[in-house]
């Protein structure tokens, strides 16, 4: 009976999940020496408690599903603080973060935070050769279609904080860093779903760095500015609606001069722009949060009143950083993985697929419950069964499958309380 129910659930997902869509938000933000004290930025002029209070308001307003950052301390304490004090509050538990890298040995680094109900990380690593690590995160979208399909949606996010400065040497270094990213993309499956985001410190689209991104000799790997606002951005009122620095006019820890530079970007590969692989940029969704186009060379809080966001959010953006965050929305052509308003899913499962000799399973459970994992072939014959204690948190186990005939199998995982899910496994 349970096996029949599993097939019924799979059939339901196949027919009801077709053409389903979900919209997710990506945000990038330079956090301005978050958790770092130095001679010019300290607890007097860049107070961490004030930054946390401000960032909570900004996150509540923007509600990103993927949140990448520059200028956070290399100390893991502050990365965890973002999770515990900003994202996972008021009973929320869904957000996780990527692993920390700092091969370049800098005081400020990058990170990625994500909604683990919607995304998981397949692979994460860093590219070297720039002033700072350039981080790469390959994400997969979690969908109930994974229960029956070997396919899913992948999105690779590059996060960089390119060399700062307007002099020729700084421009040359940014060009080198763009070359590192584009050279690596050339080694990956192309074309595909890629984003490259961060504080690029660019003053004009004519810079070799930006031209290498948008006009690379290999047309298959070129990146695109979703809003297509190329030009000389710096200190140019024509681009006032797109400037991301500076929220302040006075110089201290916060760079002064008012809003006059477009430093922060989210660039996208052509498949994201054209919806080639089920991830599509939602036209009109790209924006610099808090930018109303009326504060060129002014502070974010100067008159006229900035009504692009609630007044407390505008103040929080001013207090938090000298940069504005940039956001865009992506439409993903798969069903969302979980329904937050219910307690239907008391555990989540991740594994490699297809597999060869050993199936490694990671089961994250919200309850203590004995759990049974059973493999069936497509005739309904039981091929393997294993009992797992099922404690709260992460449970890992290996399933030996080298002896099984190559083909398709169903992995049925059931907790004692009746919660169960079935997944399609391909044995090579």
Range in 32-36, 120-124, 362-366 the model is least confident about: 362-366
Higher pLDDT, 416 or 17: 416
Residue 336 has pLDDT above 80, yes or no: no
| Tokens found for residue 334 | 């798969």
Phi, psi of 320 (to 5 degrees): -80, -45
Contacts of 232 (CB under 8 A, 6+ apart): 203, 204, 205, 206
Residue 340 has pLDDT above 70, yes or no: no
| Tokens found for residue 174 | 């940014």
| Tokens found for residue 164 | 């700062």
CB atoms within 10 A of CB 327: 21
Range in 65-69, 191-195, 351-355, 419-423 the model is least confident about: 419-423
How far is residue 142's CA from residue 154's CA, in Å, rounded to a whole number?
10
- Domains of the chain, each with CATH number or no CATH: 19-332 (3.60.10.10), 343-427 (2.60.40.1930)
Higher pLDDT, 268 or 380: 268
CB 266 within 8 A of CB 326: yes
Report how far apart, in Å, the C-alpha atoms of 40 and of each of 43, 253, 254, 415 are. 10, 5, 9, 55
Burial of 175 by CB count in 10 Å (0-12 exposed, 13-18 middle, 19+ buried)?
Answer: middle
How far is residue 300's CA from residue 314's CA, in Å, rounded to a whole number?
7
Phi, psi of 217 (to 5 degrees): -55, -30
Phi, psi of 92 (to 5 degrees): -75, 145
The mean pLDDT of 255-273, rounded to a whole number, is 96
CB 112 within 8 A of CB 98: yes
Range in 13-17, 54-58, 374-378 the model is least confident about: 13-17
Give the tens place of pLDDT for each residue, 208-223: 999 999 999 999 999 9
Give the pLDDT score at 376. Answer: 80
Residue 346 has pLDDT above 80, yes or no: no
The mean pLDDT of 234-240, rounded to a whole number, is 98
Q: Which pTM value belongs to this model?
A: 0.76
The mean pLDDT of 11-34, rounded to a whole number, is 73
Contacts of 92 (CB under 8 A, 6+ apart): none
CB 376 within 8 A of CB 410: yes
Q: pLDDT over 70 for what percent of the chain?
A: 89
The mean pLDDT of 181-187, rounded to a whole number, is 96
CB 336 within 8 A of CB 374: no
The mean pLDDT of 2-19, rounded to a whole number, is 34
Give the pLDDT score at 151. Answer: 60
Residue 284 has pLDDT above 60, yes or no: yes
């Amino acid at each position: 009976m349970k096996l029949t129910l599993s097939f019924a659930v799979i059939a339901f997902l196949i027919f009801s999940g077709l053409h389903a869509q979900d919209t997710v938000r990506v945000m990038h933000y330079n956090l301005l020496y978050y958790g770092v004290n130095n001679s010019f930025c300290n607890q007097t002029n860049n107070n961490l408690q004030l930054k946390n209070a401000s960032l909570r308001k900004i996150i509540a307003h923007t509600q990103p599903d993927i949140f990448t950052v520059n200028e956070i301390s290399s100390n893991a304490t502050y990365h965890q603080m973002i999770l515990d004090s900003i994202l996972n509050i008021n009973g929320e538990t869904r957000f996780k973060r990527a692993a920390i890298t700092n091969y370049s040995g800098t005081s400020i680094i990058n990170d990625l935070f994500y909604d683990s109900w919607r995304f998981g990380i397949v692979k994460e690593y860093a590219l070297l050769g720039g002033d700072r690590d350039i981080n790469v995160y390959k994400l997969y979208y979690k969908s109930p279609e994974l229960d029956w399909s070997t396919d899913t949606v992948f999105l690779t996010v590059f996060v960089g904080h390119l060399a700062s400065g307007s002099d020729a040497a700084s421009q040359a270094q940014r060009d080198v860093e763009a070359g590192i990213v584009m050279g690596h993309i050339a080694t990956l499956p192309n074309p595909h779903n890629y984003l490259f985001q961060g504080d690029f410190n660019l003053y004009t689209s004519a810079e070799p760095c930006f031209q290498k991104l948008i006009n690379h000799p290999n047309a298959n790997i070129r990146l695109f500015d979703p809003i297509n606002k190329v030009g000389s951005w710096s200190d140019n009122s024509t681009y006032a609606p797109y400037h991301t620095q500076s929220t302040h006019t006075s110089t201290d820890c916060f760079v002064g001069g008012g809003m006059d530079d477009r430093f922060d970007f989210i660039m996208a590969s052509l498949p994201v722009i054209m919806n080639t692989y089920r991830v599509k940029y939602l036209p009109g969704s790209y924006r610099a949060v808090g930018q109303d186009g009326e504060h060129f060379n002014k502070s974010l809080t100067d008159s006229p009143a900035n009504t692009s966001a609630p007044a407390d959010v505008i103040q929080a953006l001013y207090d938090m950083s000298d940069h504005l965050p940039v956001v865009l929305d992506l439409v993903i052509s798969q069903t969302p993985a979980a329904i937050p308003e219910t307690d239907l899913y008391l555990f989540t499962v991740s594994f490699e697929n297809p597999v060869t000799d050993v199936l490694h399973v990671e089961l994250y459970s919200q309850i203590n419950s004995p759990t049974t994992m059973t493999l069936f072939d497509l005739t309904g014959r039981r091929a393997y069964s294993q009992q797992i204690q099922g404690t709260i948190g992460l449970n890992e186990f290996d399933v030996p499958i080298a002896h099984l005939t190559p083909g398709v199998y169903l992995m049925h995982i059931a907790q004692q309380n009746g919660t169960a899910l079935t997944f399609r496994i391909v044995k090579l």
